[in-house]
Amino acid sequence: MIRCSILLRMGLKKEDDSVTWSMVSNRHFLSLRLISFFQLGFINKGSRACHLNRATSDVMEVIKMALLKLKGVTKIYQQGKIEVPALRGIDLIVEEGEFTTIFGPSGSGKTTLLNMIGCLDKPSSGSINFGNKELVNLDKKNLAMIRRHNVGFVFQSYNLIPVLTAFENVEFAIRLINKHNKNELRDKVMKILAAVGLEGLENRKPNELSGGQKQRVAIARALVKEPKLVLADEPSANLDSKTSEEVLEVMVKMNKELGTTFIFSTHDPLVMDYARRLIEIRDGLIAKDQRREQDAVLN
């Protein structure tokens, strides 16, 4: 992959593959862009169109790689006169297509971090970039628009709307974007419901579905609008291990097929087993950030 070659060119050894993106400084990013530029030039000299296309696509992958960039993010909650720090200075870069798990003990700040990333909350200090957008200065309305178009959520308690069928719950998310005609919309919803294994159950209301099926609807709802990022907060907490596994398989499949970035917050070792990147949070700081070889991952 071009990422590896770029890292090697930057003087990072292969065994350094475990190096985290949070450790890659802005200087490295600049280097990445410059390398992309030269590589393009080199390929142009070779004047072979197919090479050019492939290289362009690879370089574009590099350019769009950083979906999220957090720098010095802190979050302090005020409880009466006492200040409670939840995050103490997080530096993190998340690439597109990652399948990441944030774990750590209760109260370590993982849900707070997830909320910051998902544009649900604002940091007390530091900066968060979502793509090329700086989130800190955006108002509620603009943050909502980013969530509407780019972020899907999966929560522990599913949070489905009980009066709507599985189909309508999924349809709701895509209706908000309002860019499909009626037939396209129906096809899209049916397709995603089939993909998460809910074919034939689309007319059931949440109370007629099992916990696993509800969570699948929630996943379909999060994915149907093809967001850049899906955030899942303890998605397996209310599920038995077999159902958890099934649900995670669905998410892995979606990650592979759609290239959607997934970030989980969890205590569940099973979820951690599926992750290709593990970030441990302790006392509001990243204690460990580990990328795993594809082979090490369960699937």
Partner 1 sequence: MLFLTKLAFKNLARHKNRTLITAIIIAFATFFYIVMDSLVGGMTEMSYETIIDYEAGHLQISNEEYWEEEEKLPLKNLFSVDGQMMTAIRNIPGYIGSSPELSFQARLNNGSDELPVIGRGVIPEAFEEVFALGNQFVEGSLFTSTELFSGESPVVGYQAVLGKRLAELMELELGDYIILLVKDRNETFNTIEAQICGLVHTSNLNVNQYLVYLPLAPVQEALSVGNEVSKVVIRMENKNLATGAAVKLENHLRSHNNYLGVYPWSGLEAISFAEAQNIENQVILTIILLIAAIAIINTVILAALERREEIGMMKAMGLQNNEVVYTFVLESIGIGILGGVIGVLMGIGGVWMMITYGLDFEAMFGMDMASFGMPVIGKVYGVWNPAAFVKVVSFGIIVSFLASIWPAYRAADKDPVKTIYHR
Query: Where do contacts with partner 1 occur on this chain (CB under 8 A)?
Result: 111, 115, 118, 120-121, 140-141, 144-149, 151, 153, 155, 157, 159, 161-164, 171-173, 175-176, 221
d(CA 181, CA 161): 23
Given the complex with partner 1, which of 176 and 298 has the nearer CB atom? 176
d(CA 30, CA 255): 28
Q: What is the 3-class SS of 225-281, one letter each residue?
A: CCCCEEEEECCCCCCCHHHHHHHHHHHHHHHHHHCCEEEEEECCHHHHHHCCEEEEE
Q: What is the nearest approach in angstroms of partner 1 to the Cβ of residue 135?
A: 14
Q: What is the nearest approach in angstroms of partner 1 to the Cβ of residue 64?
A: 22
State the pairing for strand pair 229-233/151-155: parallel
Given the complex with partner 1, which of 21 and 123 has the nearer CB atom? 123
Of the candidates 129, 165, 169, the residue with the CA atom closest to the CA atom of residue 152: 169
What backbone phi and psi angles, to 5 degrees, belong to 71? -135, 120
Whether the CB-CB separation of 178 and 143 falls below 8 Å is answered with no
Q: What is the nearest approach in angstroms of partner 1 to the Cβ of residue 80?
A: 15
Given the complex with partner 1, which of 59 and 218 has the nearer CB atom? 218
d(CA 214, CA 207): 9
Q: What is the nearest approach in angstroms of partner 1 to the Cβ of residue 253?
A: 22
Given the complex with partner 1, which of 2 and 281 has the nearer CB atom? 281
Q: What is the nearest approach in angstroms of partner 1 to the Cβ of residue 149?
A: 7
CB neighbours (10 Å) of residue 258?
15
Q: What is the nearest approach in angstroms of partner 1 to the Cβ of residue 136?
A: 16
Of the candidates 286, 196, 204, the residue with the CA atom closest to the CA atom of residue 250: 196
Given the complex with partner 1, which of 57 and 159 has the nearer CB atom? 159
Given the complex with partner 1, which of 95 and 168 has the nearer CB atom? 168
